[in-house]
Each structure stands twice: as C-alpha cells, then as structure tokens.
Amino acid sequence: MVGKMSLITLAYVAVTFLLWKAIKDRKISLGDKIALGCLYGILSVFSTHFGIDYGSMVLNVRDLGPMAAGLFFNPLSGIIAGLIGGIERYIAGTYFDVGAYTRVACSVSTCLAGFFAAFLYRFIFNGKKPSIAYAFFMGAVIEVFHMYVVFLTHRDDMRMAFQVVRICSVPMILFSGLGLMLCSVAIKKSLGELHSPFTAIPAEEVPVSNKFQTWLFGVTVFVLLTSFGFNYAMQSAAALQEGKVDLASASRDIGNSVTWIRDRGGHTDNYSHFVGLNGTFAVLDENGKLIAGSQFDKYYNKEIEELINAHVLKEFFFANLYGEEALCMTRKTKSGLTVFTQIPKREVYESRDIQAYETMLADILFFTVIYVLISLLVQRMVVDNLLRVNKSLNRITDGDLPRFLTISI
C-alpha cells in the first residue's frame, strides 16, 4: 500500500514540477488554464482507478489533482480538475461499483477541492506559491474534510462509516499533505527560496503577520487539544460504564433463563443469548460443569475456566480472550450457577471511538476555518494598512512631503 501510494504521489510531484518549469516564464493563457485543468483532472481519474482497492472504499490521492492545479498554477485549472475528478468518481462508483459506498463523499470532496484551492490562491496567497508548511497543512485539511463527509453522508450506518474512516484517514491525509508539500519544496528549490529549517531567521526579519499566525496557531491547537482530551476521557468513562451495564443485564437474563429451564427439566445446551454484538457467555452448574454457552462449548476452553476460577468473586475485569482484550464478568446466581460473560474491548469503546474520530475531524476543520479567516482579516485590516503607512512615511522622509499635503483655501 505504502509503495503504490508513494509512486502515485511522486508522479503528481514530478508532473507539477515539470509543468511549472515549462510555463513559469510566460503568461498562462485561457487555453493553458483549461488544458492544465483537464490534465490534472485526468490525473485525478487515474488516482481513482489505480488506488488501493478495499472493496467498499479506494485509498487514493485523487484530491491532489485539483489542489496542485489550483495552488501552483491557476484557480480555473483547479476548479476544472476538481469537477472532472469528482464527476468521474461518482460515475465510477455508481455504474462500475468502484468504491460505491463512498462515492458521494469522494465526489463531493474532490469537486470542492478545486474551489478550495481557488479560494486559497485568490484570497490567502494572492497568486504566490504557498510555503512548505502551508502546502502540507492544506493538502491534509482537504482529506480531513473528505473523511468528515463520509460521516455526514452515512449517519444511518456509523459503524461502517467509522471502519472506512479508520482505514483511510491516516494514509490519505498523510500522502495528500506530503504530495503538496513536495511540490512546494521542488518549486521553491528551483527558485532558490528554500531555506534550511535548522537555520534561524533573525527576529527583526520575521513579518508581523507570520508572528501573529504562529501564536494564533499555537494557542488554538492547545485549546482544541485540551478540549478534545477532556471529552475523550469523559466518553471513555461513559463507554465503560455502559459496557458494564450491558454485561450485567445480559448476565442476569442468562442466569434467570437457564435457572428457569433447569427447574422445568429442560435442556440448556441449545440455549442461546446475545451478549452485545460479538460477546459470548458460559454457564457452569454447582459442580463446575458447563451446561450452557455460546454455541454450547465452541467458545469455552481451559483459559476461560481458569478466568472463572480466578475471578469468581470479582464481577468485572479485563482479560485477553481469543487474541483480543475483552471486558469480562463472573457472578454466582442464587441457585448456585456461575455465569461468565464477555464483550470485546473494541466493542465497548466503539461508540467512543466513532465520536472521537468525528469530533477530531470537525475540530480540525473548525480550526482551519477560524485560522484562515482571522489570518485573512489581520492581513487585510492591520498588516496591509501598516505597510501603506510605512510606504507613505518613507516617501515623506525622502522629501516627497507636498504630495501628502492638502491645502484648503
């Protein structure tokens, strides 16, 4: 997976650098803009069909096409590339069953990636090439939005949506960010604007806007991480409490049912009961003999017998069963039966993990919107005005005073 996605990402970087070298010294015509948009749109289509196929999902770097076209060349090119890649993704998912489950989220995010790149080019970077850090951040953010749209479009099937996001989020966010970053590195290296990250820039040479953005970034990240950590801890405690309640309820129902069947002379070896979605149970009689269980004795072994003997007086505990950690419970009924129930730990915390992923993605998007808008306002309302004042003062000190004087008679 890593090798294939790396090759596709490097192909984007190579194409972007070669195209930039070819047209950097001339004005881009309307025909060039359309051609660039179509080319990057085709690259997005290739990314869809040469991605990593997981059946219901396709790991890819399709959004790199419109982002690279819009940020490094022209807004129109980015919009065209996004529309081509997004519309083709929807057609492929609808009629050719290519990642059908995520076709809506993928097509929407790719189309919007072009408009997002156009907005950044026009209003944030003012036609300049983004810095290395900005390039990585924006490449990663568009994939964060992509993952968040998966949740938004599958509110009725959050478990499956979570599985898709859990598998796809890290590689797609990382490779998209790295792809844009490497494009920026290659271009800035060619321009001689690449500075070593280990060389400190004198404080007086750092623009005021950069200092403000650095402090804004640090403070906002700290606040969001603190809030996320607090919510995660609360969700963990609530999930564990809910898991214990579900386990206790299942144990009580199982004990009562098995006792009722035995009292009436019935057979309990065919008795079944759900313990969560993936949990199991075992019931032992007064002599420690198995009389009921999940598919009777399929899930009962020496390991569980030892756990029951070790924790018979300790109701809740965690133990490693069937190769994964589980929340377990043992208890004695009034009739002398021993009831053992267990739920996989991943199931106990599944609701917490779903909510944590969704909250984290939403926080990153919220942070990006706030950060971009505040930076834009500060640049337009404060920094730009300061630069105009400084320019005027420089002219006055150079002897151009009459230009700035208005005489009223």
What is the chain's pLDDT, residue by residue, as a tens digit (409 residues)?
A: 678 889 999 999 999 999 999 998 888 899 999 999 999 999 999 999 998 877 667 889 999 999 999 999 999 999 999 999 999 999 999 998 888 899 999 999 999 999 999 999 988 888 888 889 889 999 999 999 999 999 999 999 999 999 999 999 999 999 999 999 999 999 998 888 776 654 555 555 556 666 777 787 888 889 888 999 999 999 999 999 999 999 999 999 999 999 999 999 998 988 999 999 999 999 999 998 999 998 878 888 888 888 888 887 778 999 998 889 999 999 999 889 999 999 999 999 999 999 999 999 999 999 888 888 887 777 666 656 666 666 666 666 666 655 545 544 4
Residue 295 Ramachandran class (φ > 0 left, ψ -120 to 50 alpha, else beta): left
- CB distance 141 to 365 below 8 Å: yes
**Among 173, 129, 115, 116, CA closest to 148:** 173
- CB distance 66 to 114 below 8 Å: yes
The Cα 259–Cα 248 span in angstroms is: 16
CATH topology of domain 2-198: Arp2/3 complex 21 kDa subunit ARPC3 (1.10.1760)
Strand partners, 339: 283, 331
- pLDDT of amino acid 32: 95
Is 236-350 a CATH 3.30.450.20 domain?
yes
DSSP 3-state of 406: coil
- Whole-angstrom Cα Rg for the chain: 30
Strand partners, 373: none
User: Would strands 280-284 and 338-344 be described as parallel, antiparallel, or unpaired?
Assistant: antiparallel
The gap from C-alpha 150 to its chain's centroid, in whole angstroms, comes to 10
For the record, the structure tokens of 291 come out as 């009389």
- pLDDT of amino acid 55: 64
**In 292-409, alpha helices (H):** 302-311, 345-348, 350-378, 384-397
The Cα 312–Cα 308 span in angstroms is: 5
**Among 52, 119, 186, CA closest to 368:** 119
- CB distance 61 to 175 below 8 Å: yes
For the record, the structure tokens of 19 come out as 């195209």
> How open is the CA angle 297-302-308, to the nearest 5 degrees?
90
- pLDDT of amino acid 257: 95
| Domain boundaries of the chain, sorted by first residue | 2-198, 236-350
- pLDDT of amino acid 52: 85
The Cα 179–Cα 4 span in angstroms is: 13
- CB distance 109 to 149 below 8 Å: yes
Separation of first and last alpha carbons in the chain: 78
- pLDDT of amino acid 204: 57
- pLDDT of amino acid 408: 43
pTM of the predicted model, to two decimals?
0.84
